[in-house]
Amino acid sequence: MTIIDISGLTKIFSTDEVETHALSSLDVQINKGEYVAITGPSGCGKSTLMSLLGLLDEPNGGSYSLNGKNVFDLSSKESAAIRNLEIGFIFQSFNLISDMTVAQNIALPLSYRADLSKAERNKLVTQAMERVDINHRKDHFPNQLSGGQQQRVAIARAVAGSPSIILADEPTGNLDSTNAAIVLDLLDSLNKEGATICMVTHDPDSATRASRVIRMRDGKIESDESQSLPETA
């Protein structure tokens, strides 16, 4: 089943004197249950692609179907609703709210879901905290957590609402090697449980965790290959 279907995606950034083609007629399909890494040198367009996939920006051309719905035709209010329901975000800088506890940060996206009661939201928050082993820190604030713990909170927030796809933008970029490995192990586990993951990374070691690697250069796809994953004990 195809979750993301992009065709002819184009993004141009213009200034008074320069026109930069960040993306040039990209075609990408991502299927349910895939773990895709998007990699390439700085300026290749991978972060621009992630912003468009997450409905955080608008393209200059092309189409984007998310679970069969053409999301570029939606109003800003409809886009926000789809983003909240269908997409889980994990950012390099964690993007946690400093004056909210761990549990409150995880619950925040769910608070906009009219289809969930307070009891249902609380249950989903607890389940998400347990999945990333951060429930013992539920009443702590972000500044009381290590970088690795903050990223685990961000992952819990991303998965709490069972989104169609998790978009991870350089999820280990601010972490040391030990905490980076823990976060990547978590993403591996989520994928094995059925989560669809699309990760932007410049780190070759992180890219090896994915079952498919898309390499970009100059706003275009240079290669798109499946890869065998290492055996786990």
Tens of pLDDT, residues 142-172: 999 999 999 999 999 999 999 999 999 999 9
Whether the CB-CB separation of 63 and 11 falls below 8 Å is answered with: no
Q: State which amino acid sits at residue 129.
A: M
Mention every residue, 6+ apart, whose C-beta is less than 8 A from residue 107.
121, 122, 125, 160
What are the structural domain ranges in the chain? 2-14+32-226
Q: State which amino acid sits at residue 113.
A: R
Could you confirm whether domain 2-14+32-226 is CATH 1.10.3720.10? no
CA distance 28 to 39: 14
Q: State which amino acid sits at residue 86.
A: E
DSSP H or E run through 124: helix 118-131
Q: Is the dihedral of CA 57, 62, 67, 72 positive or negative?
A: positive
227 pLDDT more than 90: no
pTM confidence score: 0.91
Tens of pLDDT, residues 78-134: 999 999 999 999 998 899 999 999 999 999 999 988 899 999 999 999 999 999 999
What torsion, rounded to 10 degrees, do the Cα atoms 208, 212, 217, 223 define? Answer: 120
**What was the pLDDT predicted at 233?**
42
232 pLDDT more than 60: no
